[in-house]
Amino acid sequence: MKKINFENAYYIKLGEKGSWAEDSIANGIARIGWSKVHIDDIQKDNWDGIRNVIKQSYNERGKKTGSTQDYEALKRFCDAKVNDVFISFYKEKMFWCNLNDSPLEQDTKSKYRQTQNGWSCSPIIDPSRVFHSNEISGKISKTQAFQGTLCMYKPEEVDIINRIINGIPNPNVAHVQKKKDEICELIITILTDLHWKDCEILTDLIFQQSGWQRVSMAGGSMEFMDFEYVEPINKDRYIVQVKSGAKRSDFLKYQDKFIHEEYRKLFFVSFNPHHDLLGYRSEQENIKNLCGYDLATLIFDLGLVKWVLKKSF
């Protein structure tokens, strides 16, 4: 799909408490309620009559306010254009769609409109990526708490949705990421000058600050192991080998010695790797080559840059 342009975006609940979300997403439709409103009145644009029906329904339920907002929500849904975007949340994911230009329909379950290309939970440029609700801006995901069926996003919120759907990063975020990349590249150059003992200490800080517990160090009964860790929740055991400098041949030597049945994973950490080791990935998923940018990123993300700078002063 090509990039889409839109000015209006709406949140739609897809049934009471999202009860029609699964059906709507599976069948490429957008279901709504308003059971007391006749579909003939909608198709004939009898909006004055529809307004009265909705108001009467509110009066019968003893509700003094809300009928106007309910009426406007229904009209917006029915009048929505093909380039308008609808957002909904289901199973901790954000879905979006465009409605097609066919009229409102009705079956034994509810009224509904057809979508153009179904519902999607991915950006246009990367169908493999998923919009997880907890990774969406709170300015957008907050509508999950909306009590009605449909609400309209504000212009500034539409801009955010536009970026999300089209996969366009926030310019400020992109700027920060660029700076982070530059810092990580500088960290890589600093790591090459660390003393071998500092490399071991820094490695231990990385794994312990990641939540793992060190249970042994300096080899113990295994000559090819510098540290052993336990992941406290699943109790999985890991071993780590640290090298101030290393070649691919060194990595392969330790790979051959790895005892698979005793440990979940082997991490081979190198602070000044030979070029033939950079970017090299083992064919064995439980053996990890950790060096270069991957190592620098961990140091940055875990807040260890200050420690590295002091050791490299």
Q: Is the pLDDT of residue 224 over 70?
A: no
The gap from C-alpha 285 to its chain's centroid, in whole angstroms, comes to 24
Domain of residue 31: give its range: 9-168
Instruction: Return the CATH number at 215.
Output: 3.40.1350
Q: Is the pLDDT of residue 100 over 90?
A: yes
Does residue 21 fall inside a structural domain?
yes
Residue in 135, 95, 138 with CA at minimum distance from that of residue 117: 95
- Specify the amino acid at residue 207: F
Residue 257 has what pLDDT?
A: 80
Tell me the whole-structure pTM to 2 decimals. Answer: 0.79
Instruction: Identify whether residues 38 and 180 lie together within a single domain.
Output: no
**Interval 235-240 mean pLDDT:** 92
34-43, 58-67, 187-196: least confidently modelled range: 58-67
Q: Is the pLDDT of residue 68 over 90?
A: yes
Percentage of the chain lying above the pLDDT 90 cut: 83
- Final residue of a domain: which of 146, 168, 190? 168
Q: Give the model confidence (pLDDT) of 290-305 as tens digits.
A: 999 999 999 999 999 9
Residue in 67, 72, 115 with CA at minimum distance from that of residue 95: 115
Residue in 59, 47, 15 with CA at minimum distance from that of residue 33: 15
**Interval 113-132 mean pLDDT:** 95
Instruction: Return the CATH number at 42.
Output: 3.10.590
Instruction: Identify whether residues 37 and 141 lie together within a single domain.
Output: yes
**Interval 6-17 mean pLDDT:** 95
- Final residue of a domain: which of 140, 168, 196? 168
Residue 310 has what pLDDT?
A: 95
- Final residue of a domain: which of 152, 168, 184? 168
Does residue 4 fall inside a structural domain?
no
Does residue 133 fall inside a structural domain?
yes
Does residue 3 fall inside a structural domain?
no
Instruction: Identify whether residues 153 and 177 lie together within a single domain.
Output: no
Task: Give residue 283's pLDDT band: very low, low, confident or very high (50, 70, 90).
Answer: confident
Total domains present in the chain: 2
DSSP string, 167-225: TPPPHHHHHHHHHHHHHHHHHHHHHTTS-HHHHHHHHHHHHHHTT-EEEEES-TT-TT-
Phi-psi region of 60 (alpha: psi -120 to 50; beta: other; left: phi over 0): alpha
Does residue 1 fall inside a structural domain?
no
Residues linked to residue 237 through DSSP beta bridges, in sequence order? 230
**Interval 67-89 mean pLDDT:** 96
Q: Is the pLDDT of residue 233 over 80?
A: yes
Residue 185 has what pLDDT?
A: 96
